[in-house]
């Protein structure tokens, strides 16, 4: 079972719980502020995906398996949920909706399409693997070492959220070797067919290129009730760059 963080509704409603699936190299922790705000009227469940955070490390990291992980969480929380996934988590959410009928009611897919991409994230895996957690005493030390191979301060701060210096020995909370081995599957798409008839929102960043006009035919074939919205001034990390606009858009869609 995936590691979960539960947020109880401040003012309960009849709405099903909301399950949030993070992207590659992320964790449930990254979504804490958004989870607390969305939990004003419904229970919110944020998970660490397999090979991330406190969830189990596994031999595979493929979307049918991740979909099964999410289905297991939803089954344990009452059987149906609204599902929000970003990037890798968005692909896992789409795989869930297409392959496990009845688990997802409404779907929010944040800045990703059901397609294979030509880029990968190996440069970031290599950057993190270049840092031996046992050689640093503080997060500042880790940041300075990581800066030698990764100049982007924002990315370093994001990745270092998954560095556990309190563990004995210190470790990355990311199964970097397995993520590297499975990278073609992570940036790919397993060719899942079928249809999810439920309301689906594809929410993208204006400055991102992950969801292109040429992807719409595929999206609408698999998700015939798809709607599209764009956050102005946001890139791929739209929930971090424009959190209030992101929350407001998600809330309006889920409550419609």
Q: Which residues are catalytic?
A: 87, 236
| Strand partners for 107 | 83, 200
Contact between 236 and 210 under an 8 Å Cβ cutoff? The reply is: yes
For residue 246, what are the CA distances in angstroms to 57, 76, 181, 214, 230?
A: 30, 28, 32, 24, 10
- Beta-sheet pairing, 200-205 with 226-231: parallel
Q: Rounded to the nearest 5 degrees, what angle is found at the Cα of 96, between the Cα atoms of 92 and 98?
A: 115
Residues with Cβ within 8 Å of 118's Cβ and at least 6 positions away in sequence, in order, are: 187
């Amino acid at each position: 079972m995936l590691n979960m963080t539960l947020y109880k509704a401040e003012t309960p409603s009849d709405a099903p719980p909301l399950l949030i699936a993070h992207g590659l190299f992320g964790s449930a922790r990254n979504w804490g502020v958004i989870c607390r705000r969305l939990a004003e009227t419904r229970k919110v469940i944020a998970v660490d995906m397999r090979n991330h955070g406190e969830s189990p490390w596994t031999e595979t990291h493929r979307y049918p398996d991740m979909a099964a992980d999410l289905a297991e969480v939803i089954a344990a929380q009452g059987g149906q949920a609204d599902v929000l996934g970003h990037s890798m988590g968005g692909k896992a959410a789409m795989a869930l909706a297409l392959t496990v009928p009845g688990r997802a009611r409404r779907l929010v897919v944040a800045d990703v399409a059901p397609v294979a991409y030509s880029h990968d994230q190996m440069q970031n895996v290599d950057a993190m693997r270049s840092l031996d957690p046992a050689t640093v005493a503080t997060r500042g030390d880790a940041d300075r070492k990581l800066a030698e191979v990764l100049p982007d301060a924002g990315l370093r701060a994001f990745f270092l959220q998954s560095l556990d210096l309190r563990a004995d020995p210190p470790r990355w909370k990311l199964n970097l070797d397995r993520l590297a081995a499975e990278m073609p599957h992570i940036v790919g798409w397993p060719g899942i067919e079928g249809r999810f008839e439920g309301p689906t929102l594809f929410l993208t960043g204006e400055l991102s290129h992950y969801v292109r006009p040429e992807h719409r035919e595929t999206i609408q074939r698999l998700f015939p009730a798809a709607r599209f919205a764009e956050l102005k001034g946001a890139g791929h990390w739209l929930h971090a760059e424009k959190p209030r606009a992101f929350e407001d858009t998600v809330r309006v869609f889920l409550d419609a």
